[in-house]
Amino acid sequence: MGGNRKRLYIALYPSRVVNNEERREVVQVLFKQAKLSSSYRFRWGFAIGPKNERGAEIPGMRYRVKNHPIHNWVHEEIPLAHVRSTNNLLARIVIAKIQDETRLIGIIRNTPVIHNDHNWSCRTWAARTLSRIAQDGWASGTAELDWEKIETVAREHVATKIEFHSKLSLHCNYREVNRMRYCHNLSPAEDAKAG
């Protein structure tokens, strides 16, 4: 399997919190083509997809935690028909080559959710999940798992996407995250060169 390992992505979606003032501000920003500051809230999750993204449909999986009105925070796993363009996807960033998918999914599933703490969120869960993947050392191969770098670049990419009114999700390589440069759409040939 070597060079054709699946990829782990961080995925950002707009916040769906009802009556969320920050969400209203994001909508205003969309229309004003302004940059997003670090104070804006997003829904954070992970996606797993193939390295080679050829074809009309590119299947994958989405993993996230969701604040359910009755059950509080719950893990959610959703099969995706097309991992590159799910509904409301603002950005997805390649952060790792997957070494052991079963192990990785186990880490994602077993990262605990915290109930009754209004400071806890899907962002907190994503950061803790990345930390656990890094500590494990076996689930991923080449990777950038530093939460601060990933969060900074992801927010910059959403701002760039908004600025250019792109309808396509941004796709970038973890090496770009590591160098803190802006993201660009990678062709399959560019992704192969990146490893």
The pLDDT value recorded for residue 6 is 94
- What pLDDT is stored for residue 2 in this prediction? 55
Q: Is the pTM of this model over 0.85?
A: no
Task: Provide DSSP, 9-73.
Answer: EEEEEE---TT-HHHHHHHHHHHHTPPPPTT--EEEEEEEE-S---SS---EEEEEEEEETTTEE
Is the separation of the CB atoms in 36 and 76 below 8 Å?
Answer: no
pLDDT at 110 exceeding the cut of 80: yes
Q: Which of 4-13, 14-23, 53-62, 168-177 has the highest mean pLDDT?
A: 4-13
- Tell which residue, 121, 123, 47, 53, has the closest CA to residue 86: 47
pLDDT digits (tens, 9 = 90+) for 30-89: 434 334 455 567 899 999 999 988 887 889 999 999 988 887 899 999 999 988 888 788
